[in-house]
Amino acid sequence: MNIPSLSIASLKERVESFSLKSLLLPLFGILAFVLLWQVGASRVHTSLGEFPGPSVVYEQWNSLVAEHHNERVKEDKFYERQEKRIEARQAKDPSYEGKLRAYTGKPTFFDQIFTSLYTVLAGFGLASLIAIPLGILIGLNSSVYSALNPIIQVFKPVSPLAWLPLVTMVVSASYVSDDPMFSKSFLTSMFTVTLCCMWPTLINTAVGVAAVEKDLLNVSKVLRLNWMTHVTKIVIPSAIPLMFTGLRLSLGIAWMVLIAAEMLAQNPGLGKFVWDEFQNGSSNSLGRIMVAVLMIGFIGFLLDRAMLTIQRFVSWDKTQVLR
């Protein structure tokens, strides 16, 4: 609206200050960090050699990318060979039905990233499906809150590592199937993530729902809104900011919990990659672990940004500053 009243000069100034703040300063911060890292790393000596600096990490990144490509090429060749063999046999004996065997090569770094990503999203999704409706119920009804609060408070601080053995045993005992849709390791990781990350969403949703302005509740009463309209038109919109605070905290926890669970349980994923490299103990290991550390951080950051984008999309108040 007030753009026409801005002079071109002040507009230019704004654009410039924006790019300075949003690009130049972060870039400066990163550069300073890399420099410190390089200098500091060369002074730390371990039994596996020097602590990996930025240049070593960059080399290892390249080698991980190369390994991934090699593995894909090997996989393609593996299937090609199988198909040829089947075709050859079918030429001799038309009744022969070939069966393609799955490639059993070692999962690469990028395969592990993919595994971790969909595990965390599944675990987080399940947690949200439980926590949001339950949070709304708790926030609306103080009796339900009083009944459930002690349980929530006790389970909230439990570490994923404590849950893991129990979840593993329960999954292996109860999920018995000849042709399983999901692997047991996936289910174990997912349930552990769910159990650990649902609490912030649950609590924040409940608080948001309970904190709906009294005037708006009176409006709802005067209009005699039915329960469903009351919840969808009044309660949920006003609880959305806190709900998203909870969801973002939950997703952050989910990602951290998952890496720990994968390390401990040797379930496929980035955690297992880190643990395998540690056990491997080659001169490249520390560099590769550092690549994984940075990748875990970067993915965590992207997940949070994704949540923020969803919040912007869902939130009614587009002028709200979200960070």
The candidate with the shortest Cα–Cα distance to 267, out of 148, 149, 184, is 184
CB of 313 to other proteins, least distance (A): 14
Nearer to other proteins, 174 or 319 (CB): 319
Please say whether the beta carbons of 160 and 127 come within 8 A: no
The candidate with the shortest Cα–Cα distance to 187, out of 173, 204, 201, 200, is 173
CB of 222 to other proteins, least distance (A): 5
Q: DSSP H helical segments within the chain, as ranges?
A: 8-19, 25-41, 54-92, 109-140, 142-155, 160-174, 184-210, 214-222, 227-229, 236-265, 270-280, 285-314
Report the site for other proteins in 142-171 (rule: CB under 8 A).
Answer: none
CB of 1 to other proteins, least distance (A): 10
CA–CA dist 98, 82 (Å, integer): 9
Nearer to other proteins, 76 or 317 (CB): 317
CA–CA dist 58, 66 (Å, integer): 12
Report the site for other proteins in 224-283 (rule: CB under 8 A).
Answer: 224-225, 229, 233-234, 237-238
CA–CA dist 304, 310 (Å, integer): 10
Nearer to other proteins, 54 or 241 (CB): 241
Nearer to other proteins, 171 or 239 (CB): 239
Interface pick for other proteins out of 228, 319, 321, 323 (rule CB under 8 A): 319
Q: Does 313 bind other proteins (CB under 8 A)?
A: no
CB of 217 to other proteins, least distance (A): 9
Please say whether the beta carbons of 307 and 243 come within 8 A: no
Please say whether the beta carbons of 176 and 226 come within 8 A: no
Q: Does 219 bind other proteins (CB under 8 A)?
A: yes
CA–CA dist 310, 306 (Å, integer): 6
Interface pick for other proteins out of 216, 256, 264, 322 (rule CB under 8 A): 216
CB of 3 to other proteins, least distance (A): 16
Nearer to other proteins, 85 or 221 (CB): 221
Interface pick for other proteins out of 76, 80, 87, 317 (rule CB under 8 A): 317
The candidate with the shortest Cα–Cα distance to 285, out of 33, 13, 43, 50, is 50
φ, ψ for residue 50, nearest 5 deg? -65, 150
Nearer to other proteins, 152 or 240 (CB): 240
Q: Does 221 bind other proteins (CB under 8 A)?
A: yes
Binding span for other proteins by CB under 8 A among 10-18, 84-92, 198-206, 212-220 = 212-220
Neighbour count for residue 5 (Cβ, 10 Å)? 7
Residue 50, SS3 per DSSP: strand
CB of 42 to other proteins, least distance (A): 55
> What is the helix (H) or strand (E) element at residue 45, kind and residue range?
strand 45-46
Longest dimension (CA), the chain: 83
CB of 39 to other proteins, least distance (A): 51
Number of chain positions touching other proteins (CB under 8 A): 18
Interface pick for other proteins out of 5, 93, 215, 321 (rule CB under 8 A): 215
Catalog residues that contact other proteins under the rule CB under 8 A: 213, 215-216, 218-219, 221-225, 229, 233-234, 237-238, 316-317, 319
